[in-house]
Amino acid sequence: MKTLLFAFFGIAQLLIKAQNGFTTYTSSMHVSGPVIRTTSMLVDNSGNKWIGLNIPASTNVALAKYDNTNWTYYSTSSTPAMPSNNVTALAKDNSGNIWIGTNVGLVKFTGTNFVTFDVTDGLPSNTVTCIETVGSMVYIGTASGLSRFDGLNFTNYNMANGKLPSDLITSVKAENANLIWLGGNSRLVKFNINSAFTVTSYNDNPIAPAVGKINCIYIDAQNKKWLGTTTVGVLIYSGLAFVNAGDVYPMFGGGVSNAVYDICEGLNNGVATKMIKNALGITSVGIIELAPNNKVYQYFYPSSNILGDYIEKDGLNLAVTQVQTTMPTLMFYEFDKTNYAPQLGDVNNNNFKTLDINNVNAGIANRGDMHWDIGGYSGYQIAAGIYNNVERYEVPKGSGRHSNLTSALWIGGLDNANQLHGAAQTYRQTGNDFWPGPLDTISGGTTSAVAINYDKIWKVNYTDINDFITNFNSGNVQNNTYTPGEDLVTWPAKGTGNYSRNLAPFVDVNGNGIYDPLTGGDYPKIKGDEALYYIFNDNMTHSNSSCNAMGIEVQAMAYAYGCPGVLNGKPELSYTTFYDYKIINRSADNYHNVYVGMWSEVDIGYYDDDYIGCNVSGNYGYGYNADNNDQSSGAFIGYANYPPAQGFAIVKGPLAVSADGMDNDNDGIIDEVGEECKLNKFTVFSNNYAGTLPPTTDPQTCTEYQGYLTGKWRDGTNFTCGGNAYGGTVTTNWVYPGDPVNSTSTDPANTCGYWTEISAGNTPNDRRLILGSGPFNINAGQMQEVEYAFVTSFDSSSTTNGNILSVGKLKNDIARINEFYNHPGKQQCSFDVGIKQTAKPDIFLVYPNPAKSVITVKSSREGDGKTDYEVVDILGELILKNESNETNFTVNISDLTSGIYFLRLKVNNSFIVKKFVKE
């Protein structure tokens, strides 16, 4: 049956509102029924926006068109009339027709009339689920198979005629005229058809485990298929396997919804869809684009619960539908990225990154806290025990198991008037105490503009640096044939105005005192083989601790070792992450009796069965499982029969007050030169469970935060020996200092004797610990530094007493970490091939390149002189070393494996680096 109707356009007033790149286009027409579902969106060849709706209770709109000036509405009661108020899909063809899927058939809108095709015309079903046009063909998906319409006839493909593995078609996308991709229920079908449309075949690709319906398919320039699913977000299919986009792209603060209905071309050569926060009850907060090189772009809408499920590329912009909920008026949103600016406060991929070069995957934020999904969950939900994969300290990496839930920096001290100042970060349930960016060196203040500019973490590893050095030395940076990473180029080495000229450390290759990587070859100077650098301060209202601000600037570097050459023989390094904090007092106040601490909620796999302890002489605290089996529960994946111990070691402490008469570093020596404050306090508090003593729960005031740093409970009483450390008679600086491996005390003074959570008979629970270092002074303009190593230790030698065996392994591992840390010549992969060239590169000619067995070195230098040469591999490992007294000589490389190498040549005090390839 074909129905022909003549066109009549209704025009409604337009209301426009712009917010940070998002422009809202709202009509004045009220929808008479609730918007049950926005079902589709289309931008046609003329730039008109079409929105399909399903409003059974309404008769005034089923299809809306916005021509960039006016709105036009179509429904069963409009003129011309739609055949149904249930629009299921929209598509366009090259002739300007709009194809509309409905529950009563396929509808073609020519611009002046609607034409309806149904089962009487050859459709397999009147309920159309999806439409795709390619050339002159229209492909229609239904629950009864696929249909192809050539303008005159329908040809159907289904299970009954052997053309398809399933009749349910939920999405359809043409790669070309002869290759059509079909989405179904947990399957992707590759449908092949010849150019004469007489022969077809298919490849069935079931997806396991089940992912629900494939709601949409997008094909990018590399022919990768991006699938929007009902239950697992976006899947990527390159022809071999289905990979979840969440496993490929880092997404923090906002990510892809579990239910994805539409994907389109992005604004940065990637693919775009609606972005949501992962928190419970929070939806539709913006647009996310997954771009090449694992780059993620996030555009946050100013408020939540607004943006809908359907998104379309619209020239240089993106158009997005409204959220699927009751709305008084119809609207859509246009996003222009040139008018978008990141907002301070949004957690995103710029200010939350992962340290992941070794066997740990640690999430780091730039405001003093780390190891938990800050953007995904509110502090209230964490405090209330509502968790869902919120941990971000995964070890071993890729296992889905985590040994730490969250950690953060605390600090507090007294000014000259003995007024308490401090800053502490926890779960952000009441706010923050830290702000991104440095402080003015004159006023000690900052601005929102500076904070936004530094609301970032810079991530660099040794491969980034060595690749840059090699390409700069080869001239590839200067001639634009090599593009360094953004974080290397924008490394925050120098402040402007009154801000410090000494921020992120760097190697000043050309010695001009400025950071100019693209012209001078400068590069970041990092600790370890991968580093995350960020700057934060406390010069703001402290909504977490309620303390007076100290006016401190913290220059932080989280780092780890992952180079194979460094890890060789040092497996403990592969399970260790380091955190270095340079704390600078930018205020006019001198502070005394200052303590700095690392607070941590220890969750060894499952969170509710842990104990804690400390090793005083070793200057570390730790958490361990209370029994031999760490069970799984809900979203928490336990470590089963081999639970690790998680250690928190102070490898560098702030300088102690000279001649204070105390053994601040617990080495048995008082007042040695350069003595550091290390594990001076080790305290604990509990989650606010029913029945827990209120003085032993989470701090609420500045005095209580400082109390936990200095050895006092919330009610001001001292921590005491025995039991749960509350209400005893003997004051202690350290709770649970007993060594459960050999039943001795690690406290040199043996204040409490042998005391562990096991010996005290404590009930395992959810533990929070604090490592406090102090007291020390930090006067106006001064800097103090503290550094921690987080070490995870496994002992799989036995399932009997395995939890205690891990504590013993941790003791040995931390001793080795300290030995490595304090070694003046500790190995590092970074910069091994990064020798500053002082000779002209054309002095030496190296050929052939590539080479199989021998390379020849020819020098144009004048005079005699010995040439020292070394061959190193891409990781900076020394392969061979020799010297030659000849101007021209050969180097035997026959024993080298195929790959890229560097030849380092030195004559007198001049040297260059040449890259060559061994075939």
pLDDT tens for each residue of 831-869: 544 334 444 445 678 888 888 889 998 876 555 567 888
Average pLDDT, the chain: 90
pLDDT tens column, 191-234:
999 999 999 999 999 999 999 999 999 999 999 999 999 999 99
> Residue 329 belongs to what H/E stretch?
strand 329-335
Residue of 802, 803, 790 lying closest to 573 (CA atoms): 790
Average pLDDT of the residues in 330-347: 90
Among the residue ranges 24-38, 314-328, 774-788, the one predicted with the least confidence is 24-38
* β-pair partners for 645: 624, 793
For the record, the structure tokens of 204 come out as 């069935």
pLDDT at 58: 60
Describe the chain by its helix, strand, coil percentages, rounded to 5.
Answer: 10, 40, 50
pLDDT at 5: 31
Q: Which residue has the higher pLDDT, 309 or 381?
A: 309
Average pLDDT of the residues in 285-310: 89
Q: How far apart are CA 383 and CA 376, in angstroms?
A: 14
* CA-based torsion, 447, 453, 457, 458: positive or negative: negative
Report the share of the chain in percent with pLDDT over 70: 90
Q: Which residues contact 20 (CB under 8 A, 6 or more apart)?
A: 302, 339, 340, 341, 343
pLDDT above 80 for 397: yes
Q: Which residues contact 531 (CB under 8 A, 6 or more apart)?
A: 459, 460, 461, 524, 557, 558, 559
Report the share of the chain in percent with pLDDT over 90: 72
pTM: 0.84
Q: What is the DSSP string of 220-266?
A: -TT--EEEEESSS-EEEESSS-EEEHHHHS---SSEE-SS----EE-
* β-pair partners for 27: 14
Cβ contact 289:19 at 8 Å: no
Cα separation values, 121 from 1, 295, 410, Å: 6, 48, 73
Q: Which residues contact 569 (CB under 8 A, 6 or more apart)?
A: none
pLDDT at 380: 38
pLDDT tens column, 612-661:
999 999 999 999 999 999 999 877 889 999 999 999 999 999 999 999 99
CB count within 10 Å of CB 601 equals 23
**3-state SS, residue 339:** helix
Q: How far apart are CA 520 and CA 273, in angstroms?
A: 40
pLDDT at 50: 97
pLDDT tens column, 373-383:
876 544 434 44
* CA geometry: angle 661, 598, 729, nearest 5 deg: 55
For the record, the structure tokens of 726 come out as 């509350």
pLDDT at 130: 98
Residue of 332, 336, 334, 335 lying closest to 65 (CA atoms): 332
Q: Which amino acid is it at 906?
A: K
Q: Which residues contact 169 (CB under 8 A, 6 or more apart)?
A: 129, 130, 141, 142, 143, 145, 146, 182, 183, 184
For the record, the structure tokens of 578 come out as 């380091």
